[in-house]
A and B are shown apart, each in its own frame.
Chain A
Amino acid sequence: MKISQNIAISENGFLFNPATGDSFSTNACGKEIIRLLQEGQSQAQILEALQREFEVDQASLEKDLADFLYMLGNYRLLDANAQ
């Protein structure tokens, strides 16, 4: 699981995909996940990192993370080759 290269994300949570020209808006937690993805962390590592950072139970986080990753994939923001 890897985020597409060249994805730029701003302080405001504005995300631009130069490969497609699409732009997106995300929140603090989304930003953190994208940062961790850019660092090359795995889904399990991200889960662990977020649990250290946020006040949340594991079941909710697991479900929400999976949904977020699904949306990233849906919008073609994940690098297909790196799967």
Chain B
Amino acid sequence: MPLKTYERPYLRKLNAGLGNKFGTRNSQVPVTEIDGVPVAKLMEEYGSPCFVLSEQTIRQTYRNAVRAFSTRYPKVQMAWSYKTNYLNAVCRIFHDEGSWAEVVSIFEYRKALANGVPGTQILFNGPDKSEDDLRTAVQHGSLIHIDHLDEVYLLSEILASEGLKARVALRINMDTGVYPLWDRFGFNYENGSAWTAVTKVMAQPRMELVGLHCHIGTYMLSAQAYAVASHKLCDLADEIRKQYQRRIEYLDLGGGFASGNTLKGSYLQGSDVIPTMDDYAEAITSTILQHPFAMSGEIPTLYLESGRALIDDAGYLLGSVLALKRLGDGRRATIMDFGVNLLFTSFWYEHRISPAQEYSSHHEDMVLYGPLCMNIDVVRENVSLPLLKRGDRVVVHRVGAYNMTQWMQFIQMRPNVVLIDRQGQVHLIRRRETVDTLNEMELTPLHLELGQGKPA
């Protein structure tokens, strides 16, 4: 007689008030392939853990966003938010689709140049722009989004010494009815700092104020907040038109659009509560188009710096089970080969995790730990998964944003990142780190060199 398929024995107490398992099959449905490529094959070839990006999903998501805005508004320009994911292959897909670059450091700036983005199509944001950084940006004719008054003065000195002019925008922060307020970047609208900054910049003969920029927050669940922000930016632009007879050429509404991930503490699933790209687009474009500023002359170009909403869905993290154990209180704990070192976003998301092989309908609640010998390394505090065993594979969804930039080289090294192209071909786009990768950066003082005699 052939042996029966084994599933480890399981016992679950039936408690009142804990809901039920019926209909929650989707946490059990195995994800065995990504864009037609078997997960098992990816992990055999590229190891575990391993990040996977789908070019198909990136392009589809991008085109959907462009469609949402450009069917409502005639002049729309996307600028890829480098900090969200600055792997060159990823950036180049966005640039290939027509996206400019939005950078917040000279490091990202140089990446953008190397990715073939003309200097005039780079938006330079952020509080950290040194004298050298600004000089580089000025020389390349980039759009400089000014964050604070010190930057106005510094830039003014550079322009004078170089004998050049710069096209600049002001970063504005404001109350959009969404809290907490993001008032640390740029100039505050309500308390008049924004207007002060306008007068300072307008007084600089070498600065041309061409744009107004805001970025009202992150993972915004209210599309209405963008309507408020658009309105305030238009008000400011209109005031500049009236006072200085200068026409603001573009409004940059930043990003902050939510992805389908579920925030910690949210009762409902992220994908059930987030606005769609069309909701955001409608709020922004209808506000601008109906504002007296837009009606008073040529309508401003709309710039968008969406990052998360454009790349999150395209990223997957593949990993496997290292071990199972019981905690002191009887809870099941599962240790994975990936943790917060790779999934920085697990600090604020409850990432969806799917098994990559078939199971029965039984499932159990568990804590999901990463591999680090550190107490902070918790991927999910409570998740219901099938009866996993050592070596089983899982797929973590929606990890495309921020993880491949905020990952830590801590205890473990960073793994391979692959891209599946539209033909289903797999390309390695970032090699896994090795001990040499890290040692290469280090220097040993002569007296600590091995074989150089005992230290004194």
> Which residues from chain A sit less than 8 Å from chain B, CB to CB?
15, 22-30, 32-33, 53-56, 60-61, 64-65, 67-68, 70-72, 74-75
Q: Chain A contacts of B13 at CB under 8 A? A: 22-24, 75
Q: List 14 A-B contacts (CB under 8 A).
A: A24-B12, A24-B13, A24-B14, A25-B12, A27-B9, A27-B362, A28-B7, A53-B3, A54-B6, A55-B5, A60-B6, A64-B9, A68-B10, A71-B11
Residues of chain B from 1 to 34 with CB closer than 8 A to chain A in the complex: 3-14
- By the criterion CB–CB under 8 Å, are B9 and A54 in contact? no
Q: Chain A contacts of B6 at CB under 8 A? A: 29, 54-56, 60-61
Docked complex Cα distance between A23 and B16 (Å): 11
* Minimum C-beta distance from A57 to chain B (A): 9
* Minimum C-beta distance from B268 to chain A (A): 27
- By the criterion CB–CB under 8 Å, are B14 and A23 in contact? yes
- By the criterion CB–CB under 8 Å, are A54 and B14 in contact? no
- By the criterion CB–CB under 8 Å, are A30 and B11 in contact? yes
Q: Knowing A27-B362, A71-B330 are in contact, say whether A54-B5 is a contact too (CB < 8 A).
A: yes
Residues of chain B from 386 to 414 with CB closer than 8 A to chain A in the complex: 387, 389-390
The contact string, 1 if C-beta is below 8 Å from chain A, for chain B 210-224, is: 000000000000000
Q: Chain B contacts of A64 at CB under 8 A? A: 8-9
Docked complex Cα distance between A27 and B364 (Å): 12
Q: Knowing A23-B14, A25-B14, A27-B360 are in contact, say whether A60-B4 is a contact too (CB < 8 A).
A: no
* Minimum C-beta distance from B12 to chain A (A): 5
B75 at the interface (CB under 8 A from A): no
- By the criterion CB–CB under 8 Å, are B14 and A55 in contact? no
> Which residues from chain B sit less than 8 Å from chain A, CB to CB?
3-14, 324, 326, 330, 360, 362, 387, 389-390
* Minimum C-beta distance from A71 to chain B (A): 5
Q: Chain A contacts of B4 at CB under 8 A? A: 28, 53-55
Docked complex Cα distance between A71 and B9 (Å): 10
Docked complex Cα distance between A71 and B324 (Å): 14
Q: Chain B contacts of A72 at CB under 8 A? A: 11
The main secondary structure of chain B at its interface with chain A is loop
Most A CB atoms within 10 A — which of B12, B330, B360, B387?
Answer: B12
- By the criterion CB–CB under 8 Å, are B11 and A60 in contact? no
Q: Chain B contacts of A25 at CB under 8 A? A: 11-12, 14
Q: Chain B contacts of A65 at CB under 8 A? A: 9
Docked complex Cα distance between A32 and B11 (Å): 12
Q: Chain A contacts of B360 at CB under 8 A? A: 27
Most A CB atoms within 10 A — which of B10, B14, B387, B390?
Answer: B10
Docked complex Cα distance between A33 and B6 (Å): 13
* Minimum C-beta distance from B295 to chain A (A): 66
Docked complex Cα distance between A74 and B327 (Å): 12
Docked complex Cα distance between A64 and B10 (Å): 9
Docked complex Cα distance between A65 and B11 (Å): 12
Docked complex Cα distance between A72 and B10 (Å): 10
Docked complex Cα distance between A29 and B7 (Å): 7
Q: Chain B contacts of A53 at CB under 8 A? A: 3-4
* Minimum C-beta distance from A53 to chain B (A): 6
Q: Chain B contacts of A55 at CB under 8 A? A: 3-6
Docked complex Cα distance between A55 and B5 (Å): 6
Docked complex Cα distance between A32 and B3 (Å): 14
Q: Chain A contacts of B10 at CB under 8 A? A: 26-27, 29-30, 68
